[in-house]
Structure 1
């Protein structure tokens, strides 16, 4: 009886060791998944920052273009006004056609 009990205890210990090895393998897998998620999170943060920087740069660029267009518009208004006022040719900063 004692021998049978020892044998059962040994089998239980083997089963526990097997279960522990499985838990260790699962822990390793979860650690690798966690590492990959950390890399993914870092990449997403970097991408988000890049998108925000590009958006800011584009807004700045479009604002610059808008200012230039407003200046050109004012210049064309002055030129048109010069044509309409019939300013003598020598007084205009360009030649009439």
Structure 2
């Protein structure tokens, strides 16, 4: 989907140095890796209430994966929805 500045496709090794440089520039701990930022972002989006389809689309994965690994963070969602209904 995204290409490097050189026009080449990203691969598993191409992002390591740019990621370390970006983490250092942002003042993040030296051990920060891309997966940490991905997991943190997905967690924040799910806890923040963004629908799981949109989270999956933004993170380039499927709803099933988001539900499996992050769905527990929205355990209160059904209760909140029911509480809003006027029965």
Please report the TM-score for the alignment, with normalisation by the length of structure 2: 0.29
More helix by share: 1
Larger gyration radius, structure 1 or structure 2: 1
